[in-house]
Amino acid sequence: DAGVIQSPRHEVTEMGQEVTLRCKPISGHNSLFWYRQTMMRGLELLIYFNNNVPIDDSGMPEDRFSAKMPNASFSTLKIQPSEPRDSAVYFCASSLQGSYGYTFGSGTRLTVV
Amino acid sequence: GNSVTQMEGPVTLSEEAFLTINCTYTATGYPSLFWYVQYPGEGLQLLLKATKADDKGSNKGFEATYRKETTSFHLEKGSVQVSDSAVYFCALRVNAGNMLTFGGGTRLMVKP
């Protein structure tokens, strides 16, 4: 099992550009979570999906952020337009609903200059 | 609501020292409790868990006991190694729900 796969690992972009982060969950997992981690705010849940349906997006900071899960094996988190304060490490995690653990990806380090 | 409170870091120890990282929680319901570890440059990994009162979770020399009377789940290790340097997160999940609530994380630095 390759685990949760995120791409890219690192992204540097200019302010105002569109950024798309990608996640492939573990096969068979039916819940997917997007987190953001910064030194100032720690680990924040942005949005999560059950069976490809968004359940709670209250953590999405503003309309510049959007997330999709078109099928069970792929999700995207898009930021448009990006701003320097979006610089963070973004993690994707998946789990089987009702099970105990999340499996996290290695994260995407986003730097907006 | 549900919340997890961890001791502020960083915690700096010498190799072979005893480790305790405090974690307390509030929960609406009967939670399962977890410790996750994040090594530099990596995502979080499940370290151990306990699903009912008085259970002890253990892994890699780390232990934590689910204390319902004190709503605590403190992480301990008898002799830390440099390789244990990481950020440790306490978390809970209530009943059959799928959401984990994380604490703020505690950075551990072990010096040789």
Which residues neighbour B97 within 8 Å (Cβ) at sequence distance 6 or greater? none
| CB nearest A97 (choices: B98, B100, B102) | B98
Query: Cα-Cα-Cα-Cα dihedral of B105, A92, A12, A15, to 10°?
Result: -90
Of A113, A13, A18, A8, give the one whose Cα is nearest residue A64: A18
Given an 8 Å threshold on Cβ–Cβ distance, is B105 in contact with A106? no
Q: Is A74 on the interface with B (CB under 8 A)?
A: no
Q: What is the pLDDT along chain B (112 residues), one digit of tens a residue?
A: 889 999 888 999 999 999 999 999 999 888 999 999 999 988 999 999 999 999 999 999 999 999 999 999 999 999 999 999 999 999 998 865 567 889 999 999 999 9
Q: Is A21 on the interface with B (CB under 8 A)?
A: no
Is residue A16 pLDDT above 90, yes or no? yes
Distance CA A79, CA A31 (A): 22
Q: Dump the DSSP string for B17-42.
A: --EEE-EEEE-SS-EEEEEEEE-TTS
- Tell me the nearest-neighbour CA distance from B46 into chain A, angstroms: 7
